[in-house]
Copies of this chain bind each other. A is one copy, B any other.
Amino acid sequence: MEKHADTLRNHGIKPSLTRMLILSYLTEEGSHPTVEEIYKALIGTIPTLSKTTVYNTLHLFTQKKLARAVMLKDQETRYDLAAHPHAHFQCLECNTVYDTSAFPQLSAPEEFLKHTVEDVSILFTGLCQSCREKSSHIEQ
């Protein structure tokens, strides 16, 4: 838990209990959680927790480059820690999101060199292995 307090301080965020628990959830529990998921996961531990606080905290984390909003084919915003940049694959059938361990090698387009590129998001979409096997089992 002190580890999370340090992480917060390192990003210029004062470590409150709520903030530590949200960081803890992002670090150890669910992957790419929504505000709703985080709220439901923590309301047992922090009975006074407000959904607005979860929104506020994630905005703060994002601003301080501790977390980032993942770009996915979803209506609800999903969040990820910013520490290890990586690409995503999202299955359009079951909506599962898979991570890459490393960031894919990407040659920057010359046309964008005149701009100041701060970040890159890469999302692969398609049918995941599990869904493909299921559907090939159904269609004889």
Q: Which residues of A contact B (CB under 8 A)?
A: 69, 71, 73, 87, 89, 91-92, 98, 100-102, 104-109, 111-112, 114-129, 132
Contacts and interface: CB of A to CB of B under 8 A. Distances in A.
A122 B100 contact: no
Contacts of A69: 73
Contacts of A89: 112, 115, 117
Nearest to A89: B112
Given A119-B126, A125-B117, A100 B111 contact: yes
Contacts of A112: 89, 98, 100, 124
7 contacts: A71-B73, A98-B111, A98-B115, A100-B111, A106-B122, A108-B124, A120-B124
A102 B112 CA distance: 12
Nearest to A110: B100
User: 3 tightest CB-CB pairs across the interface, nearest first?
Assistant: A118-B126, A116-B127, A100-B109
B116 A108 contact: no
A35 to B, nearest CB: 15
A109 B127 contact: no
Nearest to A118: B126
Contact of A125 (B73, B106, B108, B118): B118
